[in-house]
Structures are given as C-alpha cells and as structure tokens.
Amino acid sequence: MNTWRPGGLSNMFTVHLRAEMKELYMFSLLFSFASALILIFEPIFFYKEGFTLSQIAMYYAVHYVLYALLLPVGAKFAARFGLERSLTFSLPIFVLYFLALAAVASVQWFFWVAVALLTLHKILYWPAYHAYLAKV
C-alpha cells in the first residue's frame, strides 16, 4: 500500500543535469536573449536606413532559401570538424554579421553581405546545437 510522504512528490520532479547540459542551457539562455533583443528591431533598422518593405521581405526570403539549401553543408561541417568547433566557429561569424549591419548605414550593399553572414552563422550553429543537445 502506497502512503503519501511529505516531499515525495517533489522528488519525482527533481532533475539532476550534467555539467555539460547546464553549460549548454546557460549559453542558450544568454545567447538567445541577447540576439533576440537585437534582431527584433532589425526590420525597423532596415526601414530607417531607407530600404523598402519589399527589399526587407526579399532579404528574409533570400536568407531562408539559402539557409534551407545550405543546411546540409553545415551538418557535414559539424560532422567532420566536431560539434563544439562548429558552434565556436559560428559565433565570430555572428559578430561579423552585426558589424555588417552597422556598416549598412554607410555602405548599403552590406545589406546583402549581412544576408550571407547570417546564413553562414545559422548553417554552422543550428545543426551542431541540435546534435550536441541530443548527444548530451
């Protein structure tokens, strides 16, 4: 016969994460929060810089088409060079992406350089992230 014990239910939901998981979750939390704070205003920034709504829509369309086509390349990179290297290599590219966005104000063709850098960052980051999450 089961009897209820104080604290018995809370023990069912106790989760003991490995150090690697905690590290990944903390990185994901900080990275997602920081990038979301910036990226939410990206279309507004482009509009303020004089780009039309159709150009901004084309920016996102080109980005996601390239991302869908090149995603297997990113997965092969992660498989060949390792998940952590792929994650590590993608972050400086993300920084270069933000530098390209900053340069859009003075040189408008950096708009398209930014598309390439964002796509490169995502094809290296997301396959490695999901594979690493599944592994840990």
pLDDT of 12 above 70: no
* Average per-residue pLDDT for the chain: 88
Amino acid at 90: S
The pLDDT score that the predictor gives to residue 1 is: 55
pTM tops 0.85, yes or no = no
Q: Which of 10-14, 34-38, 106-110 is predicted most confidently?
A: 106-110
Burial level of 26, CB count in 10 A (0-12/13-18/19+)? Answer: exposed
At 8, the pLDDT band (50, 70, 90 cuts) reads: low
Whether 100 contacts 114, CB under 8 Å = yes
pLDDT of 38 above 90: no
